[in-house]
């Protein structure tokens, strides 16, 4: 697989990464098998999908522990990314904590759960509105100086927050939702990352599974995060089927899958972009990885860029 660089950090990763959250948290909880997930992670490393993304809130904690078990004997092949800053609550109405004391303690705890001496990419999962970003980011920069972290990133910052943090210490990456049905960051944040040598890690590049065409309108259980999202109400899923059909039509034209078209569009947003689709299935991992080889034509891009906005908000 071709590689891309995580901003000015110089860290090289496969052009497509692996989001590990769904292996133990968020989607269809209870349907995963840890040993299968570990096999998926090992296979990812074998095929060049080297960026593994997790967070302390996933579970909480159990996803980091799972990734840690998968890393035994494989640490040198993986680029490990994790996050802190979200305080877990069982109803998904999570809190935020950006205090320097919390950041330092959270990093030490993640190092222990992952079983590693350092974290390649440590990210602020969400910015705490009660703590100036300069205070939180100062604590993150101290972790780099201490050798506990190689590079640091932000998740879902506004342009102003990103600019303020970057002025204090280089932001290696921004991780925000980006897909054919979530394009908010194309307006100002993504251009700033291009201008300032910052990597961009799109999460949910497949629309939390919706853009693959595999999700018929349905209801989700209370332990599935999508049950809280407006776009995943049964009514809105029905309304958004037209968008899915359009993606499928373009995929058929190219002889690939809808998921691959959706990922190829994300990759086409710039050489600093490394999408991190999640899966706990070997076949889906291979399908996603193959999207790195797809080059969209001008006609493909024009048709995809013209897709309508989805019905329903993100949150």
Catalytic machinery residues: 58
Span between the terminal Cα atoms of the chain, in Å: 34
Residue 304 CB coordination number (10 Å): 18
Q: Which residues contact residue 254 at a Cβ distance below 8 angstroms, ignoring those fewer than 6 apart?
A: 261, 294, 300
Condensed to tens digits (0 to 9), the pLDDT of residues 22-78 reads 999 888 766 669 999 999 999 999 999 999 999 999 999 999 999 999 999 999 999
Condensed to tens digits (0 to 9), the pLDDT of residues 123-154 reads 999 999 999 999 999 999 999 999 999 999 99
- Burial label, 308 (beta-carbon count in 10 A; 0-12, 13-18, 19+): exposed
The domains of the chain, with CATH numbers, are 3-206+269-292 (3.20.20.100)
Least confident of 13-17, 179-183, 214-218, 266-270: 214-218
- Burial label, 306 (beta-carbon count in 10 A; 0-12, 13-18, 19+): exposed
- Are the C-beta atoms of 201 and 193 separated by less than 8 Å? no
Q: How confident is the model at residue 6 (pLDDT cuts 50, 70, 90)?
A: very high
Q: How confident is the model at residue 263 (pLDDT cuts 50, 70, 90)?
A: very high
């Amino acid at each position: 697989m071709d590689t891309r660089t995580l901003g000015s950090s110089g860290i090289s990763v496969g052009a497509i990464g692996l989001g590990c959250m769904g292996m133990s948290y968020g989607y269809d909880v209870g349907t995963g098998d840890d040993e299968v997930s570990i096999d998926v992670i090992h296979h990812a490393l074998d095929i060049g999908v080297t960026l593994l993304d997790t967070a302390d809130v996933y579970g909480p904690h159990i996803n980091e522990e799972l990734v840690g078990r998968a890393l035994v004997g494989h640490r040198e092949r993986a680029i490990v990314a994790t996050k802190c800053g979200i305080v877990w609550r069982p109803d998904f109405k999570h809190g935020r904590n950006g205090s320097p004391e919390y950041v330092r303690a959270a990093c030490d705890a993640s190092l222990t759960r992952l079983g590693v001496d350092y974290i390649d990419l440590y990210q602020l999962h969400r910015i705490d509105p009660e703590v100036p970003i300069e205070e939180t980011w100062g604590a993150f920069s101290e972790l780099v100086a201490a050798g506990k972290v190689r590079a640091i990133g932000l998740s879902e910052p506004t342009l102003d927050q990103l600019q303020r943090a970057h002025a204090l210490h280089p932001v290696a990456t921004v991780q925000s939702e980006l897909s054919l049905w979530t394009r908010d960051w194309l307006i100002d944040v993504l251009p700033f990352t291009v201008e300032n040598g910052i990597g961009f890690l799109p999460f949910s590049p497949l629309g939390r599974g919706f853009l693959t065409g595999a999700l018929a309108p349905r209801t989700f259980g209370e332990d599935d995060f999508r049950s809280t999202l407006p776009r995943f109400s049964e009514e809105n899923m029905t309304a958004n089927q037209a968008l899915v059909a359009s993606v499928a039509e373009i995929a058929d034209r190219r002889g690939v899958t809808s998921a691959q078209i959706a990922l190829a569009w994300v990759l086409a947003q710039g050489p600093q972009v490394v999408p991190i689709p999640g899966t706990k299935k070997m076949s889906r991992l291979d399908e996603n990885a193959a999207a790195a080889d797809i080059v969209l034509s001008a006609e493909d891009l024009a048709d995809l860029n013209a897709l309508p906005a989805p019905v329903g908000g993100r949150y």
